[in-house]
Amino acid sequence: MKTKYAIAYTSMPYGKIATIPKGTPVIPADNLPQGGYWVEKWKGISAIQESWLDNYGFHVAQGAVCND
């Protein structure tokens, strides 16, 4: 599974953290009651974005994901 489109990821109070590219692999967020998906590392991720990924993760809704 992967993202359907590029996603501008923001978090308050920090603002924009990353633009997650279209086609980025995701895994089910089985650890959250609302479900959705956790984004995996993508090509070209910056050190700051990778730190966010490791510490908090990038969560996306089911509608942002496709089976391709």
Quick one: 21 exposed, middle or buried, by C-beta within 10 A (0-12, 13-18, 19+)?
middle
Domain that holds residue 27: 2-66
How many domains are there within the chain? 1
Q: How far, in whole angstroms, is CA 34 from its chain's centroid?
A: 15
The rounded distance, in Å, linking the Cα atoms of 47 and 15 is 17
pLDDT reported for residue 52: 97
Q: Which two tokens stand for residue 53?
A: 């990924």
Q: Could you report the per-residue pLDDT of 10-60, keeping only the tens digit for each? A: 999 999 999 999 999 999 999 999 999 999 999 999 999 999 999 999 999
Quote the pTM value. Answer: 0.92
Nearest to 4 by CA among 24, 19, 30: 24
Tell me the one-letter amino acid at 66: C
